[in-house]
Structure 1
Amino acid sequence: MSIKGMRKALFFIMCLVLVAGCTSNPGAKEAETQSLRVMFWDESYFFQQYGDLFAMQHPNIEIEVVTTNNIYRDLGPDTDYDKAFKDFIEKEQPDVLMVSIDQLGTYISEGKVRELDTLIERDKYDIETIYPALIELLKERGDNKLYGLTPNFYGSAILYNADLFAKHGVELPRDGMSWYDILELAKQFPTEGDEKTRIYGFDNNWGISLTQLASMISSSEGIEQIDTNAMKVTLNTESWKKIYQTALDAMKSNTIYNPGENGFRGGSMEEYYQSQPFVMGRAAITTGDSYILRNIKDASEALKDYKPFEVGIVAGPASSTEPDKSRNINVSEVFAIAANSPNTDAAWEFIKFVNGDQFAKIKSRSLNNGLLSRMGYTKEYNGISLDAYYKLKPLPVDYSGMRKIPNGFYEKFQPLLDSELKLVEDNSKSLDDALAKIETEAQVALDQAIKDQEEKKKEEEAKGGSSDGTTDDSSEGSSENSTDAAGSEGASTSSNSEVIIITD
């Protein structure tokens, strides 16, 4: 073979080698399988809500769910939940942590989660269309830096029956109304008629008591029953007197729906919907998350004689001193990257996806998991605008101090509170006298509970164990939203038997 021929043959062989090298493993880096451990409360729901969609876009990233249900399995009444949570993370070593917004602050201060700002800047990841209130809340925990993102949130708004307002000539609600404004507006509606046909000025899904209403007002105003720094009960104050007097006047006005012991506890679908005056068009105002809109839609489809009405929504309840701000913006799932994760890029791909535009577009038709953080996709539900849920700015809410309060305190405090306020409702005692007695006796109960807790801790330490006895995160729900969630999410329906059970 000639030199020229040999060169041609050699060139041909080299081409074959290059082609084989280019085509035998296309996108080798992209196709390389990666493992990612994600922390979540339930594996099945995780894949339903996030995992399956993520896998379609990133088939090379295999997700293993580390379920937090295992934390609760062995918890006793006096278990230190915070320690159990940290021990779980230390043992399981998840790459992606799912934490509450308060826990996020703790893990930031301890250096256990990775800052996201550099990754956001590197990938030019757009956070401008994420609800600014959420970004503000998250940055507040991280000294103006982002350490976590949340795909959804729960917010409260003021919903009203525009038809009833027009019929009775009452001025429509406006953005930024406080609880004091809402209850005054509710009083302008008539109170005559029997319980099954009359209208109400205000309805909170299944009714509300004096103590519940006072708790909702105080949560919105940021006023606590206990100063956890000094461990002093602070109920006998002008602020609390105003709250309880407002709640008392509202209850006595007979415009607030409160069925008491006659409230719905189980029955048919029709009975379930009939137990909610606002859903049935018999209440002028309610407050809560977007779940109420879904209830209205379901009722209109389930009941033959259902009479539709025009629903309006405005932003609130707001703080009475800062009407453009709210303490009712709640986050349940913050995803963060563990600082020691060897899979930072894969973890970031997951967080980017579940907080991104594509995910928001897919999930925009459902309100099953709250409101989307990514704005511009869930603009309305059943023809009703959801803009009001995105209008207010957040006010910080920190429940970490409540974990200092021993469980034993509430066993004595709640019966005392209920009995004294019942006397006030029955005109058997003045509000001033009741609050004075509650504060004095509650302080004795708190001091004793702290003493008992310390003695028990010493006993456990002497035995080689440890016990804290403080409340866990689940006891933090003193806000209006937690009250709403207990009412709305505690309902389960069965399409076969048309029976609903409400869990207390």
Structure 2
Amino acid sequence: MKHSVLQKVFIVSLSLMLIVISVGFGTGQKASANSDSQKRTLKVLYWNAEAFNKTYGESFSKVYPDIDIQVVTPGGMGAITNYGALITKHSPDLVMLDPYNYKQLAKENKLVDLDSLIKRDKYDTTTLYPGLLDELKKQGGGQLYGLSPTVESYALLYNVDLFKKHKVKLPSDGMTWAEILKLAGQFPTKGDKNSRIWGLSSFGSSNLVMDIARTEGLTYLDPNTLKATANSTAWKNAYRSSIEATKSGVLDEGITLSAKSYLESSPFIMGRSAMTVAPISRLKSLQSAKNGVKNYKPFTLGMVAGPADPKDRKSTGSARVPEILAIPANATNVDAAWDFIKYFLGDDFAKEYYKSNSSAVDAPLSRMVKEYAGYKLDAFYKLRPNFDSSISSYVLMNKSQNLELDFRSILSRELKLAMDKKKTLDQAAASIQKSTQIVVDKLKKVQQTK
């Protein structure tokens, strides 16, 4: 069976955690709540038993040997989509959900409200990412039905030394993409690409458009009506910002240098780019450069929360969660499931995750570990994630694995025509809208004939 794009993304996010498990966690054993001399069974619904054991089961069993984990799989290798039916059929005690299915199951009252367990155990949530807790409650209709061990969050990293040298005002928390690009435009744009200064590290104009869209919660299709929405004012602003930034030469566009390592090829890591929007793994890369690149010249690193959604500067659509741990309403062993959730939300897991995972993209939800690779992490936790656009993307991906790939192809083609002055911005936007709708209409016809 061929993996869908959604499935590949899902597997990649899981693989980022495997390094943690291979190193191993602490061997201190704990007794679960209300434990007795007999093992209790924790039935987990997951897409693949082996993947679950490597990602979760092995480490949890070392700390809670009195809980016997039974993994129930729906068969095949694909991500689970029919959670409701599978929960009814298998009666699991624990499920791992994407934001879409979390919202749906919460709406159908099929999950345990975790607030009751939190109050019962006087569980301290003050060390957890507050913005993510708020978003999980919002998507749960006001109740907290699940928690995520990690979050894929980003921050705006910047080279303080370059800002001071070129007398540019330092970035601040909650900046939008438009403001970030305006700052980037204040740096020099002349010189050889192998040695010049860049305002912002990015991976090309079409990728920048998608980054802006994700931050601002934009979708190229209405997931309910399947009508193209890529010709709105917000989308055209994203196109315009990307085109202007690319034409002005402020983006390094992910250049690579021949015969150079990844670290030496990165303008930001090597101190030649003023800013980059990055996950916590970039902090580890900076540390690696200090220790592994000959004659490396460290620079003063600054970090602020961003980019933010201009509609709400305290939120961003860029932050995402790989999995939300939740307990079905008909679970038999609620306490065992709750112990599982608390462990992966806890400080022991977070410390080992930071210590062992050199390529971590996701940040653990616990904030008890104040630093990673020698840098403070506050900027990664300041903005509230907004899952609305990722939920829409999930719906569209399930309608067809090729929709976003087709849209990106259309986007790349039309942006190039606009940059080459073969089309105006309005003409390119109209073409993106029309071409996207044609793709969707063909898809609907194909599906209707099946």
Pick closer, same or farther for the CA change 1:87–1:303 going to 2, 3 Å: farther
Pick closer, same or farther for the CA change 1:318–1:400 going to 2, 3 Å: closer
How many angstroms apart in 1 are the aligned matches of 2:235 and 2:390?
19
Question: Which of 29, 32, 39 in structure 2 is aligned with 1:33?
Answer: 39
Q: Gaps spanning 5+ residues in structure 1: where? A: 1-26, 76-80, 457-504
Pick closer, same or farther for the CA change 1:399–1:160 going to 2, 3 Å: closer
SS in structure 2 of the partner of residue 374 of structure 1:
coil
Match of 1:327 in 2: 317
Match of 1:275 in 2: 265
Most deviating of 131-140 and 409-418? 409-418
Which structure has the larger Rg over C-alpha atoms?
Answer: 1
SS in structure 1 of the partner of residue 77 of structure 2:
helix
1:100 CA displacement:
1.2
Conserved? CA contact 1:71–1:88, under 8 Å: no
Conserved? CA contact 1:233–1:439, under 8 Å: yes
1:231 matched to 2:226? The reply is yes
SS in structure 1 of the partner of residue 274 of structure 2:
strand
How many angstroms apart in 2 are the aligned matches of 1:431 and 1:173?
29
Question: Which of 247, 252, 267 in structure 2 is aligned with 1:257?
Answer: 252
- TM-score, L = length of structure 2: 0.83
How many angstroms apart in 1 are the aligned matches of 2:277 and 2:408?
25
Pick closer, same or farther for the CA change 1:374–1:263 going to 2, 3 Å: same
Match of 1:123 in 2: 121
How many angstroms apart in 1 are the aligned matches of 2:102 and 2:170?
39
Most deviating of 411-420 and 218-227? 411-420
1:175 matched to 2:165? The reply is no
Quick one: which amino acid aligns to residue 162 of structure 2?
Answer: L
How many angstroms apart in 1 are the aligned matches of 2:288 and 2:46?
30
Match of 1:222 in 2: 217
SS in structure 2 of the partner of residue 428 of structure 1:
coil
Taking every aligned residue pair, what percent have the same amino acid on both sides?
A: 38
SS in structure 1 of the partner of residue 246 of structure 2:
helix
Question: Which of 323, 327, 333 in structure 2 is aligned with 1:343?
Answer: 333
Conserved? CA contact 2:99–2:391, under 8 Å: no
Most deviating of 33-42 and 160-169? 33-42
How many angstroms apart in 1 are the aligned matches of 2:114 and 2:34?
27
SS in structure 2 of the partner of residue 35 of structure 1:
strand
Match of 2:19 in 1: none
Q: After superposition, what is the alpha-carbon deviation per residue over 1:239-278, rounded to whole angstroms, capped at 9, x for unaligned?
A: 222221111110011110125xx747xx97x422223211
Match of 1:192 in 2: 190
Match of 2:388 in 1: 397
Match of 2:433 in 1: 439
How many angstroms apart in 1 are the aligned matches of 2:314 and 2:408?
33
How many angstroms apart in 1 are the aligned matches of 2:330 and 2:439?
44
Pick closer, same or farther for the CA change 1:209–1:357 going to 2, 3 Å: closer
Conserved? CA contact 1:155–1:389, under 8 Å: yes
Match of 1:370 in 2: 362
Aligned ranges for residues 268-307 of structure 1 at < 5 Å?
Answer: 270-307=260-297
Conserved? CA contact 2:94–2:328, under 8 Å: yes
1:149 matched to 2:134? The reply is no
1:291 CA displacement:
0.8
How many angstroms apart in 2 are the aligned matches of 1:58 and 1:151?
17
Pick closer, same or farther for the CA change 1:153–1:407 going to 2, 3 Å: closer
SS in structure 1 of the partner of residue 199 of structure 2:
strand
Match of 1:82 in 2: 81
Quick one: which amino acid aligns to residue 451 of structure 1?
Answer: K
Match of 1:461 in 2: none
Conserved? CA contact 1:409–1:449, under 8 Å: no
Match of 1:72 in 2: 77
Q: After superposition, what is the alpha-carbon deviation per residue over 1:156-193, rounded to whole angstroms, capped at 9, x for unaligned?
A: 11000111112211111111110001011011111222
How many angstroms apart in 1 are the aligned matches of 2:421 and 2:302?
37
Most deviating of 312-321 and 45-54? 45-54
Two-structure CA RMSD over aligned residues (Å): 2.8
SS in structure 1 of the partner of residue 414 of structure 2:
helix
- TM-score, L = length of structure 1: 0.75
1:407 CA displacement:
4.8
Q: Gaps spanning 5+ residues in structure 2: where? A: 1-32
How many angstroms apart in 2 are the aligned matches of 1:50 and 1:389?
24
Quick one: which amino acid aligns to residue 59 of structure 1?
Answer: P
How many angstroms apart in 1 are the aligned matches of 2:92 and 2:381?
32
How many angstroms apart in 1 are the aligned matches of 2:335 and 2:81?
28
Conserved? CA contact 1:406–1:453, under 8 Å: no
Pick closer, same or farther for the CA change 1:59–1:329 going to 2, 3 Å: same
1:420 matched to 2:417? The reply is no
Conserved? CA contact 2:159–2:302, under 8 Å: yes
Most deviating of 39-48 and 109-118? 39-48
1:455 matched to 2:449? The reply is yes
Conserved? CA contact 2:99–2:387, under 8 Å: no
Match of 1:55 in 2: 61
How many angstroms apart in 2 are the aligned matches of 1:436 and 1:359?
49
Most deviating of 330-339 and 222-231? 222-231
Q: After superposition, what is the alpha-carbon deviation per residue over 1:84-135, rounded to whole angstroms, capped at 9, x for unaligned?
A: x556656655321111122111222334322222222221112222111111
Quick one: which amino acid aligns to residue 339 of structure 1?
Answer: A
How many angstroms apart in 2 are the aligned matches of 1:66 and 1:297?
41
How many angstroms apart in 1 are the aligned matches of 2:51 and 2:270?
32
SS in structure 1 of the partner of residue 267 of structure 2:
coil
Conserved? CA contact 2:163–2:170, under 8 Å: yes
How many angstroms apart in 1 are the aligned matches of 2:300 and 2:49?
40
